[in-house]
A and B are shown apart, each in its own frame.
Chain A
């Protein structure tokens, strides 16, 4: 007679690789996971409820905090929704500036992910290497906006002030490709890394679509879905979405590396435009006392962790009646239920890490 007992394991919230805010209730047979139940909400700040009590301009500085690694995206998303509601056209140069900053931010976010993912796999050095390069970008953001993470730089109708320090971006463009080659040398062909990521946590197209996965995770499974292609900021910019076929951890890693390269291309292209362009002229609207006409407004953006969207219901007052965020990570956390089952504990960490879950984005 064999006796079967399972071990219930609380992975988190106090666990080094869940960054203090994610709790996974795992059921283990030996070291094999039989069920996984994500428990989120440890970082809940009531971002949506807060919006209902604040005027539109009051809420603007807080949206950067939804995803502190990609602050520009949420700020852009929120502003975009309101601009859409008020029919504001932003000047061409402001569009380009926004696209440039978004792509730089995407690079910094992906760089952090590479470091954190390799840290989850037990390699320490890539973490510091990635942070070194991320630092360059953050320094530039600090120079430009005065803040390293919570930029609050985009405003209704344009940007806060004209872009500057373009030579810093050129330096980033010179240094980063070399460094990415270095990462690939130390990570991509490493046999240990390959055995730990190849065919681990395979996300099929069907599962990905069923779980509403978007962003790099979806594209690494072979679905060509990049909202940037229809985004008005990227209208005249030429780029190719990164599509990988396998859908395993390695594909997700490789897709992010390739996406950084693609983003660098975009940055380069926009930089050429910005260098030639004249001084920014924009008619900013008076932000205090904005009232959205009664109705529902929706817009979306391709954030580093998947499709993000903002949905505002206005009843014609100073603050929104209801505001809803859709964030990519939230769906990735849900996916863990399916993806972790049948895997061993040490692969589970790698798989969870490969999905690029950022908890402030999940909990909002």
Chain B
């Protein structure tokens, strides 16, 4: 980040803009970039999910708007934008409107703490991983708020389920993250990424010693995203649409958007923890291999790092969508049982194994 900061200040000073202005604006720019990228990513993700589900279920998926249905999501977004916003008569109007606003705050922040490449982390603190845990849990608050404020029985039930689910899946997830912290001896995401470096690429990834943790984390992330088979809070065939039953128009779109943004953020997080983040799977970076030590290679390597990260998270997203196409939904009690009776003990065992492994490595 320092590199970019100096580059930016240098660029401003070339045009005679004082350093103070640069200091202030530098921290705003990243969030503008995030907001812009986020929208594009969500548009792509929604389309990708629909196309993939179509593929899995022998349909064509959207294919009318634009070439191969590329503009379908955009058309849907516009439709939602121009739809009437209905607030139920007996709803708590303030909280009802607050929920979709609140749901977006953690999403934006979460994407700010991710190291996209070695020089591209907007908020780089020494305990990024804790920050992530807190922020990833945050959307459930607005889900609960929305469900409660809707004054609808289905919404309320969906909201309660969401809270129970996220609370119970947060615990095994924390244990897995702890084992990663033990492995990397750091709570900083960049350090965790770098700790996975090895000359042979894949062999250094934490996904190999901590494969149990990877499986648990994968399950927990699906549960935290409220996606199938853990989509109880918005179980269509039971609770109509769960917490967002009463939401319409843009407010619904915001919930929808944040869901996909969280999917994106969580899959990136998973690939940082277990799949080596922005590191290349071949050990060395391709741009270094091709262009050697030239200036182009030094710049291109940042993009290559981002590319690897996006590719890994893309694979995880593909698997999540695949799971959705395959499995039926769990019942709410089985879901809690599964977390407390299976995932939690296994994650503790995993933590133990990893600690011994780390100790053995140190000896």
Residue-wise interface mask of A (93-131) relative to B, using a CB-CB cutoff of 8 A (1 in contact, 0 not):
000000000000000000000000011111111011100
Q: How many A residues have CB within 8 A of the partner chain? A: 30
B211 on the A face (CB < 8 A) = no
Q: Which of the four size classes fits the interface of chain B?
A: 20 to 34
Q: Is the CB of B237 within 8 A of A120?
A: yes
A121 touches B57 (CB 8 A): no
Q: B128 → chain A, closest Cβ, in Å? A: 35
- The minimal Cβ–Cβ distance linking B361 to chain A, given in whole angstroms, is 36
Main secondary structure of the interface of A (DSSP, over half): helix
A349 with B237, Cβ < 8 A, contacts A125-B325, A128-B57 known:
yes
Residues in B with CB closer than 8 Å to A122 are 228-229, 231, 235-237, 327-329
Q: Which residues of A have CB within 8 Å of B325?
A: 124-125
Tell whether B157 is near chain A: CB-to-CB under 8 Å. yes
Which residues of A are found within 8 Å of B59, using beta-carbon distances?
128
Taking the nearest CB of chain A, how far is it from the CB of B223, in angstroms? Answer: 13
Q: How far is the CA of A127 from the CA of B330 in the complex (A)?
A: 18
Among B153, B329, B331, contact of A123 (Cβ-Cβ < 8 Å): B329
**Cβ of A281 to closest chain B Cβ, rounded Å:** 43
In the complex, whether B324 has a CB less than 8 A from a CB of chain A is: yes
Chain A, residues 112-154, CB within 8 Å of chain B (1/0): the string is: 0000001111111101110010000000000000000000000
Contact A128-B58, Cβ < 8 Å, known A16-B236, A122-B237:
yes
Query: Does B326 interact with chain A (Cβ within 8 Å)?
Result: yes
Assembled-state Cα–Cα distance A353/B238 (Å): 11
A31 contacts across to B, CB distance below 8 A? 157, 332
B58–A132 CB distance below 8 A: yes
Nearest-CB distance from A96 to chain B (Å)? Answer: 34
Contacts of B46-66 to chain A: CB distance below 8 A:
53, 56-59
Tell me which residues across on chain A come within 8 A of B228, comparing CB atoms: 122, 124
- The reply to whether the CB of B333 lies closer than 8 angstroms to some CB of chain A is yes
Is the beta-carbon distance between B238 and A125 smaller than 8 angstroms? no
Which residues of chain A from 15 to 57 have any CB-CB distance to chain B below 8 Å in the complex?
A: 15-17, 31
Taken together as a complex, chains A and B put the C-alpha atoms of A192 and B228 apart, in Å, by 12
Quick one: CB contact mask for A323-364 with B, threshold 8 Å, 1 for yes?
000000000000000000000111101000100000000000
Distance in angstroms between the alpha carbons of A349 and B240 in the assembled complex: 12
Q: A16-B236, A122-B228, A125-B326 known; A346 and B53 CB under 8 Å?
A: no
Output the nearest chain A residue to B333 by Cβ-Cβ distance. A344
Residue of A nearest to B161 (CB): A31
Inside 8 A of B331's CB, which chain A residues have their CB?
195-196, 344, 346-347
Q: Return the chain B residue nearest A116 by Cβ.
A: B237
> Shortest distance in angstroms between A356's beta carbon and chain B's nearest beta carbon?
15
* Chain B residues within an 8 Å CB radius of A127: 57
Max chain A Cβ within 10 angstroms of own Cβ: one of B58, B59, B326, B331: B331
Question: Chain A 262-306 against B: per-residue CB contact (8 Å), 1 yes, 0 no?
Answer: 000000000000000000000000000000000000000000000
In the bound assembly, the distance between CA atoms of A346 and B329 in angstroms comes to 10
Q: Which residues of A contact B324 (CB under 8 A)?
A: 124
Measured CB to CB, the closest approach of chain A to B162, in angstroms, equals 14
Any B CB within 8 A of the CB of A58:
no
Q: When each residue 302-338 of chain B gets 1 if its CB lies under 8 Å from chain A and 0 otherwise, what string results?
A: 0000000000000000000000111111111110000
Could you give 10 example pairs across A and B, Cβ below 8 Å? A16-B236, A31-B332, A119-B237, A121-B329, A122-B229, A127-B57, A192-B327, A193-B328, A196-B334, A344-B332
Known: A9-B153, A31-B332, A123-B329. 13 other contacts (CB 8 A): A120-B237, A122-B329, A124-B324, A125-B56, A125-B325, A128-B57, A192-B229, A192-B327, A195-B330, A344-B333, A346-B235, A346-B238, A353-B237
Residues of chain A having any CB pair with chain B under 8 Å? 7, 9, 15-17, 31, 118-125, 127-129, 132, 186, 190, 192-193, 195-196, 344-347, 349, 353
